[in-house]
Structure 1
Amino acid sequence: MASSKARQRALARAKTERQIARRAAVARRRRQWQAGIGSAVALALLVLVVIWKTGGFDPEPVRASDCAWTPIEQGDGILDVGKPRSTGVLKNGVKTMKITLGQGTVTARLDPSKAPCTVESFTYLAEKKFFDNTTCHRLTDAILQCGDPSGSGSGGPTYRFPNENVPSPIVDPSAAADPNASAPATGNAIYPAGTLAMAHSSEPDSNGSQFFLVFKEVQYPADYTVFGTIVSGLDVLEKIGAAGNDGSNQAGGGKPNQETKISSLTVTDTDPGEPSAAPSASGSADPSASAPASPAASASSKS
């Protein structure tokens, strides 16, 4: 009898030990599974962080149609550094242009989505150090014009290209004979302080390397490519403007009284941030008023 009870107790103990062992094995497998899941999640997060850091989540580059670079003959003030690529030009994203002057640094955001060929040209010329150690040759009470390696107002690279992203002309309702008719455009446009735009000659599609930086709202013909916005350094431009010019340009303005030289100009694939508040507009807002001289009025037909 005692032997039977001992066997029953032994069987019960064995059963309990098996149950404990099974529960321990289940718990061990659960911990292993949870540890595996945790490691996988950690690895996935690490991979996502690496992809994000390296720009893997940036939108795919959008390519523009071909850019037309029209060759011109090399001459006085015309510097041959080749031509930018014509195909595969980026048409999205943001770029930063940094202009280091003797008086300080001006930073601008470039917009390839609106002016892809212009931004491509500046990126290319900046890589060639085309603008380094060049003098800004023209100043008015509203703009500073730069980008001519000769400093004469007639220089540039050995190619030209068409306008892009020109502003809409101002509409003058008072000029409409019929009150119900659409008001005609004046031919001028407002270029707000902080505008970065191309200068060109009177010939069509004659953009080269000359550009102007607007530090006071101004009216010009609606014929200049706007390719960026100044985000910092307007105070630098205002100080240059406050020093005045020598009046040597017959169309208006002249060489800055305070020599203004670009020590370096770079274009990078970064976002410069939001622009600082622009100064209050002080240029003429009346489209019938006499517009200031064209930014490229000082350039010859080569510019």
Structure 2
Amino acid sequence: MVSSEQRRKQLAREKYERQLKRREAARRKARIRNISITLGLVIVLAAGGAYAASGGLNGDKDKKDAADKAAAKPSPSKAPDPCEKPAKGKPTGEKWKKEPAMKVDKSASYTMRLSTTCGEIDFTMDADKAPHTVNSFNFLAGEKFFDHTPCHRMTEQPGLSVLQCGDPTGSGSGGPGYELPDENLKGAQYPAGTVAMANSGPDTGGSQFFLVYKDSKLPPNYTPFGKVSDSGMKVLKKIAKAGVTPMQAEGDGRPNATVVIDKATVRKS
């Protein structure tokens, strides 16, 4: 027979274990691991947060502060900043509890234009293969969610050459408040020009996405939903040429170029 004291200790232990589980769940949600690469190096880019293995913004305040300070310090650039000053304004920071209602026409063509400080980046979006993702981007652009948001992360490593955008906080931890299901993953590849979703695991896409400026080798875990135009690729290559301010690992950090999305729009044809 269990004594009252033993029962009290058992309940206290169970309560503690529940608290630990809640804290761990909160930490997982606060991190967005978005790009895992082979060759023994895993870089996680994010809509809920941080990057693992390469250090990244992992929720540890001291490390985050150190990373922010390192990013703020002048560092040797491969080329001068090729971009203009951002337009006046700031992100809305708005959040929604649920994914927006489906309104896109799967048979129609959708093109997103990112009017950035470095030039215009257009990419077509595949509503047929990734309807939830395209519907969300159409909605967020209409709500001006992407306006005045920075492209906060860039990598230039063997097998991984991407620019990541879509976080209104610029920290790697921001998102729209809802999550999207994975789409179009069967046989997914990430050649130059691909636009794909960042995520923190299966079915956790938000607003953060990455633009591939060189062929990249990634597992088929990130919803590919768009293709950058030729003129947009020229802008991406200009941004890449300016180099990276290393934060956690060589070739991984904030772009030296001041890349800010002044305005994002979607047109249907």
Query: Given the two structures, how large is their TM-score scaled by the length of structure 2?
Result: 0.61
Question: Between Structure 1 and Structure 2, whose CA radius of gyration is higher?
Answer: 1
Letter of the structure 2 residue corresponding to residue 127 of structure 1: G
| Alignment correspondent of 2:43 | none
Query: Which of 159, 165, 178 is the equivalent residue of 1:146?
Result: 165
Task: State how far apart, in whole Å, the 2-side matches of 1:89 and 1:131 are.
Answer: 19
Residue 190 of structure 1 and its aligned partner are, at CA, apart by 3.6
Which SS does the other structure have where 1:267 is aligned? strand
The question of 1:166 aligning with 2:166 is answered no
Mark the runs of 5 or more structure 2 residues left unpaired by the alignment. 1-28, 31-47, 50-90
Q: Is residue 79–residue 155 contact of structure 1 (8 Å, CA) maintained in 2?
A: no
Letter of the structure 1 residue corresponding to residue 211 of structure 2: L
| Alignment correspondent of 1:216 | 214
Q: Deviations over 1:11-48 (max 9, x none)?
A: xxxxxxxxxxxxxxxxxxxxxxxxxxxxxxxxxxxxxx
Letter of the structure 2 residue corresponding to residue 131 of structure 1: F
Q: Is residue 167–residue 174 contact of structure 2 (8 Å, CA) maintained in 1?
A: yes
Which SS does the other structure have where 1:124 is aligned? helix
Task: State how far apart, in whole Å, the 1-side matches of 2:100 and 2:142 are.
Answer: 13
Could you list the runs of 4 or more consecutive aligned residues of structure 1 that deviate by over 6 angstroms after TM superposition? 75-78
Q: Is residue 118–residue 258 contact of structure 2 (8 Å, CA) maintained in 1?
A: no
Of the two structures, which has the highest relative contact order with CA contacts closer than 8 Å and spacing of 6 or more?
Answer: 2
Letter of the structure 1 residue corresponding to residue 185 of structure 2: V
Which SS does the other structure have where 1:234 is aligned? helix
| Alignment correspondent of 2:45 | none
Q: 1:251 to 1:167 in 2, by over 3 A?
A: farther
In the comparison of the two structures, how many residue pairs are matched?
177
% identity of equivalent residues: 47
Residue 264 of structure 1 and its aligned partner are, at CA, apart by 0.6
| Alignment correspondent of 2:202 | 204
Q: Report matched runs for 1:111-122 at 5 Å.
A: 111-122=126-137
The question of 1:125 aligning with 2:140 is answered yes
| Alignment correspondent of 2:258 | 259
Residue 113 of structure 1 and its aligned partner are, at CA, apart by 0.4
Q: 1:249 to 1:145 in 2, by over 3 A?
A: farther
| Alignment correspondent of 1:247 | 246
Query: Given the two structures, how large is their TM-score scaled by the length of structure 1?
Result: 0.54
Q: Deviations over 1:44-90 (max 9, x none)?
A: xxxxxxxxxxxxxxxxxxxxxxxxxxxx99x9997414645334543
Query: Which of 89, 96, 113 is the equivalent residue of 1:98?
Result: 113
| Alignment correspondent of 1:294 | none
Q: Is residue 81–residue 128 contact of structure 1 (8 Å, CA) maintained in 2?
A: no
Which SS does the other structure have where 2:168 is aligned? coil
Task: State how far apart, in whole Å, the 1-side matches of 2:178 and 2:250 are.
Answer: 25
The question of 1:230 aligning with 2:204 is answered no
Letter of the structure 2 residue corresponding to residue 99 of structure 1: L
Q: Is residue 101–residue 262 contact of structure 1 (8 Å, CA) maintained in 2?
A: yes
Q: Report matched runs for 1:1-303 at 5 Å.
A: 79-81=94-96, 83-87=98-102, 89-141=104-156, 142-168=161-187, 190-201=189-200, 203-231=201-229, 232-250=231-249, 253-270=252-269
Task: State how far apart, in whole Å, the 2-side matches of 1:241 and 1:87 are.
Answer: 35
Q: Deviations over 1:98-144 (max 9, x none)?
A: 00111100111111000000000000000000000001010112111
Q: Please, which moves more after superposition, 230-239 or 244-253?
A: 244-253
Q: Deviations over 1:163-194 (max 9, x none)?
A: 000251xxxxxxxxxxxxxxxxxxxx641111
